[in-house]
Structure 1
Amino acid sequence: MSKTRKLFEAYAFIFPSLFLTVVLAIYPIVWAMRYMFYDYRGYGTPQFIGLQNFARLFRDQLYWDAVVNTFVYSIGKIAVTLPLALILAVILNRAIAGRQLLRAVYFMPTVISMAVMSIVFYIIFNSYNGILNQLLIKYGIIGQSIEWLGPKYAMLTVIIVAVWGGLGNYMILFLAGLQNIPNDLYESASIDGANETQKFWHITVPMLGPVLQMIIMLAIIAALKGYESIMVMTEGGPFGKTEVMYLYVYKQLFPVSTDGGGSAEQLIGYGSAAGFVTALIVGAITTLYFYLSRKLNRMY
């Protein structure tokens, strides 16, 4: 086979992916970056306004409230999801009855549509006729309905839904790491008299170091970018209590509500500027995590 034919076949294989990447990812990014400097509302002629969109964004308290909410949401999701996923992975890595079925059950939320999942949880957590309130009242645990999607508990509720949706995915990643740990290490530790807790902290956790580093990075990015379930359940409300960065950006580009930061009209220029700043924030946090993780690796 000639060298030219080999190159042709190689490029033929990568062309579909490359074409879709350019059309669906690179071009929209370039298009949005252009309109960051324009006042453009989806109709008429775009008006060049320089850095006014960015100046407006830095004065927009609703956006910075969304940034704070994003950090609260992300920290809550990661702090609960990763330890639970690790514990489940350790349990389901053992030779217990029905472990394959349990793995499939815990992983199932990962393959369910986010929109469908969020609608189901909206029905469960509905403040007035939700299934959860009805059950709690029926068994005498509470005396009156709790506003799970109200100002006090809305953030807690969306974090619970996020944990349920992401738990299985991280559990599978932890399982993959656990299955690469040699059993000889655990057998040697047992001979030396180590108990299960000591094995976990002195063998399992250190051996999972590289996998854990990757999982934490994925969890940080996913949490900072997550907004789909929030959009379905609360639309960022009530009163902006669950508004997060990417939901705020989405509302500027595709206005769906005036609650919690939504715009009454399409603001493509302003939304593009907000999206760019949001991407910088996510990139800065990811870069900081890389720096700290590499520094810890050098220390240990």
Structure 2
Amino acid sequence: MSPKLRRIQENALFLLPSVILTMALGIYPLLWVLRYMFYDYKGYGSELFVGLDNFRRLFRDDLFWDSVVNTLVFAGGKLAITIPLSLLLAVLLNASFRGRNFLRAVFFMPTVVSTAVISVVFYILFNAYNGMVNQQLLKYGLISEPINWFGPDYAMVTVILVAAWGAVGNYMLLFLAGLQSIPRDLYESAEIDGANTWQSFWRITVPMLGPVMQVIIMLAIIASLKGYESIMVMTEGGPIGKTEVMYLYLYKLLFPVSTGSPVEQQLGYGSAVGFASAVIVGAITALYYYLSRKMNRVF
């Protein structure tokens, strides 16, 4: 056996476990979904081929399209808070001062804590009757009566704030990595030329962070559109569907018992909803990627 062929066999053996896991945990479930979205299948062993009926139902399903709108609102609000705040924190913590490593760890800590734990803590804090948030606002006279943070008027705002709080540390760390790759000589040259801190930020930091920021925003868009865990813990999509997002709606179709949903398990229709949700997320991500690439060519 030639050395080249031996190396090919050795590489193939090293890759084999990863290929098997990818096939078992990635490809097979995908094929399962692609098959059952054409069936009326409720998980009891009975399969009834219905063709495109699941998709016809999908286009008439107001609950699903309401969840799409809620997803866009949730993702937009989360991005509007997370990206600027994480960039600001990264810039501040990139400076040299005593205790910066401790502050980096503090802001990054929510990323490694379970989403369920974070959601339970914030559910207690935002409780309308004895939550600390209302108590402090009443104490300082900022409100005259307790606010129902999980009511129809404020539920979406509350879940956006909690989700943003949990995500800021992750993107802050990515921005920090990008900032530390910018040569210090550029800032020294700008300082010699008379540029102030604000001018250096807009003329050096932001352009040099462009490629990193493009990737960070794409990751943030995907995570925001697919996020539902904190909503499931705090509101379960309520009240009256105000915080029902796509993947929470999908979860309720596939696992109704765990969410307390009165709807029976619908694996066939849930597969169609999952496919449509993935197409929507992919389309939005592709649109952002196209626009960001186009802006790079312009500027």
TM-score between both structures, scaled by the size of structure 1:
0.95
Matched, 1:271 2:243: no
Cα RMSD between the aligned structures?
1.6
In 1, Cα distance between equivalents of 2:7 and 2:115: 42
| Residue type at the aligned position of 1:87 | L
User: What is the match of residue 55 of structure 2?
Assistant: 54
In 2, Cα distance between equivalents of 1:286 and 1:126: 35
Contact 1:257 1:264 in 2 (8 A): no
Contact 1:257 1:263 in 2 (8 A): no
Deviations 1:109-152 (A, max 9, x none): 11111111111111111222222223333444333221111111
In 1, Cα distance between equivalents of 2:156 and 2:257: 20
Q: 4+ residue runs of structure 1 moved beyond 4 angstroms?
A: 256-259
In 1, Cα distance between equivalents of 2:197 and 2:25: 49
User: What is the match of residue 174 of structure 2?
Assistant: 173
In 1, Cα distance between equivalents of 2:173 and 2:111: 11
Matched, 1:100 2:125: no
> Unmatched 5+ residue regions in structure 2?
none
User: What is the match of residue 164 of structure 1?
Assistant: 165
In 1, Cα distance between equivalents of 2:124 and 2:257: 21
In 2, Cα distance between equivalents of 1:238 and 1:12: 53
Q: Does 141-150 or 160-169 show the bigger shift?
A: 141-150
User: What is the match of residue 69 of structure 1?
Assistant: 70
User: What is the match of residue 296 of structure 1?
Assistant: 295
Contact 2:108 2:173 in 1 (8 A): yes
| Residue type at the aligned position of 2:195 | A
User: What is the match of residue 112 of structure 2?
Assistant: 111
Instruction: Count how many residue pairs are aligned between Structure 1 and Structure 2.
Output: 298
Q: Flag the 1:263–1:49 CA change in 2: closer, same or farther, 3 A.
A: farther
Contact 2:236 2:259 in 1 (8 A): no
Deviations 1:235-290 (A, max 9, x none): 1000000000111111111114889xx55200000100001011111111111111
Q: Flag the 1:190–1:37 CA change in 2: closer, same or farther, 3 A.
A: same
Q: Flag the 1:81–1:64 CA change in 2: closer, same or farther, 3 A.
A: same
User: What is the match of residue 10 of structure 1?
Assistant: 11
Q: Secondary structure at the match of 2:225?
A: helix
User: What is the match of residue 135 of structure 2?
Assistant: 134
Contact 1:119 1:232 in 2 (8 A): yes
In 2, Cα distance between equivalents of 1:169 and 1:205: 19
In 1, Cα distance between equivalents of 2:272 and 2:255: 14
TM-score between both structures, scaled by the size of structure 2:
0.95
Contact 1:252 1:263 in 2 (8 A): no
Q: Secondary structure at the match of 1:149?
A: coil
User: What is the match of residue 191 of structure 2?
Assistant: 190
Identity of aligned residues (%): 67
In 2, Cα distance between equivalents of 1:124 and 1:256: 27
In 2, Cα distance between equivalents of 1:136 and 1:73: 25
In 1, Cα distance between equivalents of 2:15 and 2:116: 32
User: What is the match of residue 225 of structure 1?
Assistant: 226
In 1, Cα distance between equivalents of 2:22 and 2:212: 28
Following superposition, the deviation at residue 89 of structure 1 comes to 0.5
User: What is the match of residue 249 of structure 1?
Assistant: 250
In 1, Cα distance between equivalents of 2:251 and 2:263: 13
User: What is the match of residue 91 of structure 2?
Assistant: 90
Q: Secondary structure at the match of 1:128?
A: coil
Q: Does 135-144 or 263-272 show the bigger shift?
A: 135-144
In 2, Cα distance between equivalents of 1:298 and 1:142: 49
